[in-house]
Amino acid sequence: MKAIRTVILITSLMLLGACGPVINILEVDVRLPAAKPLTLPGKELAVFIPQYDSVSITDSILLAKFAQSLAGELALQAHLPSASVPLFNHYTGDQVLGTLDQPDYAYRLAMETESDMIFMVDSVFIGGFDTRNIAGSFGNYKKQFLIVPFHAVVRIFDAHQFVFQEYLSLSDTLAWEVWVPDDAKAVSIPESAFEDIQKAAVILGQRTARSFSDQWETQDRVIFHYSKKDWNRAYDHALAFEWDKAMQIWLRMVEGDNAKEVACAAFNIALACEMQGYFDLAEEWLELSAKTFSMPETEYYLELLQERKKNAASILIEKEPF
């Protein structure tokens, strides 16, 4: 858990009747594991795009947009100065470099550019336009999706290990919502379509670079609060990141006789455990909260916590040394 950044107090929202707890919403930054973890900091990186003899192999404009975006975002993910990851062209003749059996060639590119790791963007292209009917009509018009598939191939070569670490075959779909006459036989491509496709290439390049490193995502968390002295003290400790002090107060509260308050205190203890990275313990306290008094927030939080546990486990598995 990175930090609590903002606190929004919903003073008018009460649960379980007039004497119920107030719900407070905390915005927290949660770490999401890398989809394709790579160690980027401390390495010299470079991006390569091919110069093909045949223009039918890839779209040169989309290729350049994707690669420029990839290089720019790689610099950020590697904690390098902006625009410090270079972008090179390499001439391939009429051979499509989309396989993993050419380490000698990739190694030579890395040595010539003094790079530890190179990202070879072999191709970026779109497929044919198509339509999909969706629910919605107005007068003599119907709503449709105009869609086009988007593809890219990226190989990642580690010069020190003399191996292609990743072969990424990326696919996505771009869609436009359009209204057409009921009797229309074809759908016109929007004037902005090709500009939109270029923007999509930039976004996909950024997303690809971000997939190599853990990311932070802002999420909401519920914390329960009663207008009572001890609850106020515990809440103040939580806002000051003093989770241990807040937990000591909530631990005394779970020994009380009021089922609602016990359930809310157990819920808050689970939150404190999650903030400190104790996911298993947080799940146990949530289960106690659910058994004591049923609240929809508990069920939702339990599902969210189980997903976080799964992500945390994937980090340990993927980063465990051989």
Domain range summary for the chain, segments of one domain joined by +: 4-34+227-319, 45-212
Alpha helices in the chain (DSSP H): 60-77, 103-112, 193-210, 229-239, 243-253, 259-275, 279-292, 296-319
What is d(CA 14, CA 295) in angstroms, rounded to the nearest whole number? 13
State phi, psi for 113 to the nearest 5 degrees. -105, 5
Please indicate whether residue 211 or residue 322 has the higher confidence score (pLDDT).
211
Same fold, 4-34+227-319 and 45-212: no
Q: What's the whole-model pTM score?
A: 0.69
Pick the CATH number of 4-34+227-319 from 1.25.40.10, 3.30.1390.20, 1.10.260.40, 3.20.20.20: 1.25.40.10
| pLDDT number for residue 315 | 41
Q: Given a cut of 50, is residue 30 above it in pLDDT?
A: yes
287 and 212 in contact (C-beta within 8 Å)? no
C-beta separation of 60 from 37 below 8 A:
no
User: Does 281 score more than 50 pLDDT?
Assistant: yes
Res. 96 pLDDT band, cuts 50 70 90 = low
Calculate the average pLDDT of the chain.
84
Calculate mean pLDDT across residues 255-269: 95
Residue 13 has pLDDT above 60, yes or no: no
Q: Topology of 45-212 in CATH?
A: Double Stranded RNA Binding Domain (3.30.160)
The stretch 149-157 carries a mean pLDDT of 93
